[in-house]
Amino acid sequence: MNLKHARQRRGLATIITSAIMMSAVCIMGSAGVVWSQSSLSGQQADMTNTVSNYISKLNESLIFEYVYCTSDPCNQINAVLTNVGHVGLEVSEITITEKTSGYSKIQPVINGQILPEHSMKITINDSSFSSYSVLDVMVKTNRGNIIMTQTNT
């Protein structure tokens, strides 16, 4: 009779062990699903933000209305920029260069926000502008777009 009782206990131990193993597998599987879901949510938010930034960058459209010297000899250049895009943009800097001599003047733009269908005038002062006949004017936006033109002094 003792042998029969031992076989029943061994069978019960196998069931309990199997139940513990199944519980551990379920808990680890649930933890994996929760982790992958949170990871996927973070990646989806990053992807949405990136796509939104690229679409906004594509919708930016800036043109030079006028680029002119205010006096003769030229010591001040005015650049009038117009936002013809569907989204507002912010001009971060304007650069005046002359290729053959290597001259370059970079001027940061403070409060360079331009709403759609609005214009902005940027004034750049430098007494050496009159030394050059043709200057390249380049504008950078906060989203990374670059717009260029040339002007005679």
pLDDT tens column, 69-120: 888 788 888 899 999 988 889 999 999 888 888 888 899 999 889 999 999 9
CA 98/CA 101 separation, integer angstroms: 6
The answer to whether the pTM exceeds 0.85 is no
CA 26/CA 24 separation, integer angstroms: 5
Mean residue pLDDT across the chain: 85
Model pLDDT for residues 12-23, shown as the tens digit of each residue: 677 888 889 999
Which is it for the CA torsion 7, 11, 16, 21, positive or negative? positive
Q: Taking Cα atoms as reference points, which of 139, 135, 133 lies closest to residue 150?
A: 135
CA 129/CA 53 separation, integer angstroms: 36
The pairing of strands 103-108 and 146-152 is unpaired
